[in-house]
Amino acid sequence: MTPDVSILIVNYNVKDYLLQCLRSIEASSPGVSYEVVVVDNASVDQSISELKPDFPTVNWIQLEENVGFGRGNNRGLEECRGRYVLFLNPDTIIAQDTLEAMVRFMDEHADVGMAGCKVLNPDGTFQLACRRGLPTPWASFCKLSGLQSLFPKSKLFARYNLTYLPIDATYEVDVLIGAFMIAPTSLMKELGGFDPDFFMYGEDVDLCYRVKKAGKKVMYTHQTSIIHFKGESTRRSSINEVKVFYDAMEIFARKHFSRSRLFLAMMKAGIVGRAMVERVLRHAGSIVMIAADILSILIALLCATAVRFDGPFGFPPYAYPLVLFVVPFVIVMSLISVGEYVEYRPTIRRSIVGLLVGFFFLSALTYFFKDFAFSRGVVLMTIGFSAVLMSITRGLASAYRGLRGRDRSRNIIVVGRTSQAESIIRSLRQAEHRKAHVLGVVSVDPYSDSTFAQAPILGTMAVLDRIVRDVHADEVILADASVSRAEAMTVMQRCAGTVSRFHIATEYSDIVTARIINDVAGVEPTVALAPLQTFRNRVIKRLFDIVCSLVVLPFSVLRLSLGSTKARQAFTRWLSVLRGDSSVVGLYPDDKQRPWNKVGILSLVQLSDLAQLDTHAIEQLNDYYVDYFTIALDVDILFKHLIGQQRGKYGS
């Protein structure tokens, strides 16, 4: 007997969601006959082995590798026998009437080639992506640039997500969400299913577009609804979903609009614009503080000038507006050089140190530019007034954070499934039950359970940065002793730009101590940044690499023109340094992951006889370089290598 509908699900590491999805299917009304086909994309959470005994009628297909959403569905489509096929995500819950309503809708509309229903978020809000317009050049640009968000009711700007159309109505659309799409099985097989060129994202757009090109309608109906826990599979994988999404859009554009240079240009412009906005928002706190400091410096400069010269603009006319740019620039760069804004949370103590550095730089500049040596007293007063104003702004910022956090719970993620992690979770719930909300646990290793210590498992360490951003975590507690400090620092670097604090703690008292020190000093005592993770050291090292490569490259070009056999190899290496792919002085290649992992033309390892060094010795020397880096160490290694090469001690 032919089923009315074949429910096709592609699963990847969401066993707990798949379980509730299958249960919702079982609980649906028996008005239609159905079969369920589950394709597992090489999950590591034992999805099939643990769920198969509870659902013996499901057709389980185990793949040996993650082939992506489209290819996985195509494999399952081969097994589908129903009149219709329902492409359904595992992180969904269907309503009791969903199957019956959608089959009836398809039976009553023979001209429909694809249909979708109302898709809701877990909180009951409408999920915009469930019905969309075609990503034309203009629609894509408005979506990616944020114009749609500014004008959601405009037909001109909101064509991508159709936010100007009613939710509770039935109408024709261009695109449906891949999480829920029903179509005649024969049509899907005739079209060849999903395009395998799309790994994830974009394949639903492409399939809907091909359905319309085949002369069929794509319809959205409000007659039933489902719940979609969006993004769970990608959160539990190491896939860079942003890159995959933009790659998918480019594949679609080149496939269907290859002749439209305007489409590709506008799409790329939108992507660049959106990326810039997201980057600014990610560092909004630092940007606001820099702006406040620049304003403080300008006010201090004008006040100091007024005191010294009886007017805020007492310098000679030729000094303006240059002096209004140079003074704030020098002082802000001095603040950055001591770690303000980019490395640590701004503090009064560190800002005063930065101001003193700025004073010495500004004083030194007056010796080189005599025409601007108006008054060192003005410089000194500017620094003094700036210190007062910056202390006020930092005090207000600290008070604001305190008032803001007084009535708000901290969102906390605990890393590890150890007894220490369980104890910390229990202590947080008991001691801070009104102030701490344990969002969930992140596992260091692959896992099969869905919860730990009565908290949901959110994913693995490999995707911790994505989890932190998705759930807006305020604190991350690393409670697994197997996580080394180097790994902790690498994770912190990946999470740069978030507001999360990181603590390495095996006891609750460690967390309390770390918070106190962090609030007072603005630093995290349990996780010290490696020297090469700090902004200033990265900038200094990059400048050192650029200067050295610009000096050496012309000689490499000259050797290349003279036909030197080693010239091409040398030119390639130094070009790599200039591009930033490698460094003049760096690490010798090994298999260990570190917070900073650039290979160098020269290294600490190469100062020894490589034949006498085993793998462990090489790793130790590389570790020393990362842990104790200074620019003086780079210069020392460079000179020792040059001297040793002259004496024939080291290889080239």
| Cross-strand partners of 603 | 586
**Residue at 246 is within a domain:** no
H or E segment to which residue 557 belongs: helix 535-561
Range of the domain at 473: 409-529
Whether 101 and 10 share a structural domain: yes
Q: Please state the rounded mean pLDDT for residues 270-293.
A: 74
Tell whether 224 and 301 lie within a shared domain.
no
Q: Do residues 44 and 182 both lie within one domain?
A: yes
Would you state the pLDDT for residue 200? 53
For residues 390 and 416, state if they share a domain: no
Structure tokens at 98: 């969903």
Which range is least confidently modeled, 325-334, 506-515, 545-554? Answer: 506-515
pLDDT attached to residue 432: 56
CB 199 within 8 A of CB 252: no
Query: Across 211-225, 342-356, 459-473, 581-595, which has the greatest mean pLDDT?
Result: 211-225
Cα–Cα distances (Å) from 29 to 96, 99, 100, 101, 108, in that order, read: 6, 8, 7, 10, 19
With contact defined as beta carbons under 8 Å apart, do 266 and 492 qualify?
no
Does some domain include residue 148?
no
pLDDT of 373-409, one tens digit each? 778 888 999 999 999 999 999 888 877 766 665 556 7
Q: Give a yes or no: residue 161 inside a domain.
A: no
pLDDT of residue 553: 86
- Residue 525 sits in a domain whose CATH number is 3.40.50.720
Alpha carbon distance 216, 453 (integer Å): 51
Question: Quick one: tokens of 463?
Answer: 């995707």
Mean pLDDT to the nearest integer, 332-351: 80
Question: Mean of the pLDDT values across residues 88-117?
Answer: 95
325 lies in the same domain as 439: no
| Domain co-membership, 456 together with 433 | yes
Q: If pLDDT is split at 50, 70 and 90, which confidence band does 504 have? A: confident
Better pLDDT: 46 or 342: 46
CATH number (domain holding residue 197): 3.90.550.10
| Dihedral over Cα of 153, 155, 156, 160: its sign | positive
Burial of 587 (0-12, 13-18, 19+ CB in 10 A): buried
Count up the domains in the chain and report the number. 4
Q: What's residue 540's pLDDT?
A: 82
Residues 6+ apart with CB under 8 A from 562: none
Whether residues 419 and 479 fall in one domain: yes
DSSP string, 75-142: HHHTT--SSEEEEE-TTEEE-TTHHHHHHHHHHH-TTEEEEEEEEE-TTS-B-GGGEE----HHHHHH
Tell me, yes or no, whether 197 and 324 share the same domain.
no
Q: Model confidence at 251, in pLDDT bands (50, 70, 90)? A: low
d(CA 91, CA 18): 6
Q: Is residue 430 part of a domain?
A: yes
* Pairing label, strands 436-443, 34-40: unpaired
Tokens of 135: 């990503």
d(CA 140, CA 66): 29
What pLDDT shows up at residue 270?
61
Contact 479, 421 (CB under 8 A): yes
- Is residue 468 within 8 A of residue 501, CB to CB? The reply is no
Distance CA 382, CA 312 (A): 12
Q: 512 and 499 in one domain?
A: yes
426 in the same domain as 318: no
Average pLDDT over residues 640-646: 71
Binned at pLDDT 50, 70 and 90, residue 479 comes out as confident
Domain boundary among 475, 497, 529: 529
pLDDT-based confidence at residue 520 (cuts at 50, 70, 90): very low
Length of the chain: 652
Reduced to 3 states (helix: H, G, I; strand: E, B; else coil), residue 57 is: coil
| Same domain, yes or no: 227 and 360 | no
308 band by pLDDT with thresholds 50, 70 and 90? confident
Read off the pLDDT of each residue in 46-53 and give the average, rounded to a whole number.
88
Confidence band, pLDDT 50/70/90 cuts, at residue 236? very low
How many angstroms separate the CA atoms of 170 and 312, rounded? 66
Same domain, 556 and 637: yes
Of the candidates 502, 529, 556, which is a domain's last residue?
A: 529
Closest to 10 in 3D by CA, of 21, 2, 23: 21
**Kind and range of the H or E element at 436?**
strand 436-443
Is residue 152 domain-resident? no
Residue 298 counted as domain residue: yes
Question: Is the entire prediction scored with pTM above 0.85?
Answer: no
Residue 160 in domain: no
- Percentage, residues of the chain above pLDDT 90: 29
Least confident range from 165-179, 211-225, 322-336, 444-458: namely 444-458
User: What's 650's DSSP letter?
Assistant: S
Residue 248 lies in a domain: no
**Range from 9-23, 236-250, 317-331, 624-638 carrying the lowest mean pLDDT:** 236-250
Task: Report d(CA 144, CA 460) in Å as an integer.
Answer: 30
Q: pLDDT tens across 414-464, in order?
A: 998 988 888 888 887 776 555 678 888 988 876 666 688 888 888 778 778
Q: Provide mean pLDDT across the span 501-519.
A: 63
